């Protein structure tokens, strides 16, 4: 009985995407919770040299992989806060990322892409909004502790171009504040999340180092 309960618990955990939905201190605007979550990008606090490509600054990364052959592989460097895409031995793309914070870190290891969902939403995190006014009532809401009241709705955090590689952890488009800020997932700018998604088949190796 205990074994069955453990299996059910683990299976349930895999249904949740444990990514922090957005940076709660970012003051952008969108239809989602008062945050420019999907398009937000602020590398001013990164304290790192910007990505360079062909002698130019590529703040939101670059992609040179179209038409290149070779087995795909993704390397995620936690110290650099960058992800590197290889086809065979050729580096074809580099993107800035935002990984997990202390206590919700992105675990180092060797994994494989096990699921792809172009319109993924978090089952766990989001915001609670007033249905009539659209006002955000709770900005960092969790289905485990927060319930929408009368006249309110729980809006689940969007995670477009989601690619799962370690339990509930995956890569997806999201806000990059210039430092680790998620609950474990790997956020990317929209353009790079789409390129990675379009070029990555199931089973692609993902190395977190």
Tokens of 43: 């590398």
Q: What's the CA gap between 113 and 4, in Å, rounded?
A: 26
123: number of Cβ within 10 Å = 15
Is position 185 annotated as part of the catalytic site?
A: yes
The average confidence (pLDDT) of the chain is 80
Is position 172 annotated as part of the catalytic site?
A: yes
Range with the lowest mean pLDDT among 101-105, 107-111, 138-142? 101-105
Range with the lowest mean pLDDT among 10-19, 59-68, 154-163? 10-19
User: Do residues 206 and 124 touch, judged by C-beta distance below 8 A?
Assistant: no
Sheet strand arrangement including 152-166: 136-142, 115-130, 152-166, 169-173, 186-188
Alpha-carbon separation of residue 99 from 37, 152, 208 (angstroms): 15, 31, 11
The backbone region for 132, taken as left when phi is positive above 0, alpha when psi lies in -120 to 50, beta otherwise, is alpha
Instruction: Give the residue, 109 or 103, on which the prediction is more confident.
Output: 109
According to DSSP, residue 14 is labeled: H
User: Do residues 126 and 134 touch, judged by C-beta distance below 8 A?
Assistant: no
Q: What is the pLDDT of residue 76?
A: 97
Q: What is the pLDDT of residue 95?
A: 96
Interior angle at CA 175, CA 172 and CA 177, nearest 5: 130
User: Do residues 101 and 119 touch, judged by C-beta distance below 8 A?
Assistant: no
Q: Which of 126, 163, 168 is nearest to 144 (CA)?
A: 126
Q: Which CATH class is domain 15-208?
A: mainly beta
Selected catalytic residue, list 120, 172, 183, 202: 172
Range with the lowest mean pLDDT among 10-14, 57-61, 104-108, 179-183? 10-14
Report pTM. Answer: 0.76
Q: What's the CA gap between 55 and 2, in Å, rounded?
A: 59
Selected catalytic residue, list 19, 120, 156, 185: 185
Q: What's the CA gap between 89 and 147, in Å, rounded?
A: 49
User: Do residues 115 and 164 touch, judged by C-beta distance below 8 A?
Assistant: yes
Q: What's the CA gap between 33 and 57, in Å, rounded?
A: 31
Confidence of residue 199 (pLDDT cuts 50, 70, 90): very high
pLDDT tens-place string over residues 122-178: 777 778 888 999 888 887 788 888 888 899 988 877 789 999 999 989 999 988 888
In this predicted structure, the answer to whether residue 33 has a pLDDT above a threshold of 60 is: no
The sign one gets for the Cα dihedral 29, 35, 38, 39 is positive
Q: How far apart are the first and last CA of the chain?
A: 38
Range with the lowest mean pLDDT among 11-15, 146-150, 159-163, 183-187? 11-15
């Amino acid at each position: 009985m205990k074994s069955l309960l453990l299996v059910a618990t683990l299976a349930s955990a895999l249904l949740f995407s444990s990514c922090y939905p957005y940076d709660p201190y970012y003051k952008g605007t969108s239809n989602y919770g008062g945050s420019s979550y999907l398009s937000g990008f602020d590398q001013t606090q990164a304290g790192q040299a910007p990505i360079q490509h062909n002698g130019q600054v590529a703040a939101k990364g670059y992609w040179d992989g179209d038409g290149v052959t070779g087995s795909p592989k993704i390397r995620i460097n936690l110290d650099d806060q960058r992800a590197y895409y290889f086809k065979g031995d050729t580096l074809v793309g580099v993107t800035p990322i935002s990984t997990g914070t202390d206590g919700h870190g992105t675990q180092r290891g060797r994994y494989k892409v096990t699921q792809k969902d172009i319109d993924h939403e978090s089952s766990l995190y989001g915001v609670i909004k007033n249905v009539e006014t659209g006002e955000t009532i709770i900005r960092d809401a969790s289905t485990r502790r927060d319930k929408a009241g009368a006249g309110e709705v729980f809006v689940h955090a969007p995670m477009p171009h989601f690619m799962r590689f370690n339990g509930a952890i995956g890569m997806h488009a999201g806000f990059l504040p210039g430092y680790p800020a998620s609950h474990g997932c790997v956020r990317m700018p929209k353009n790079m999340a789409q390129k990675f998604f379009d070029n990555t088949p199931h089973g692609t190796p993902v190395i977190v180092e």
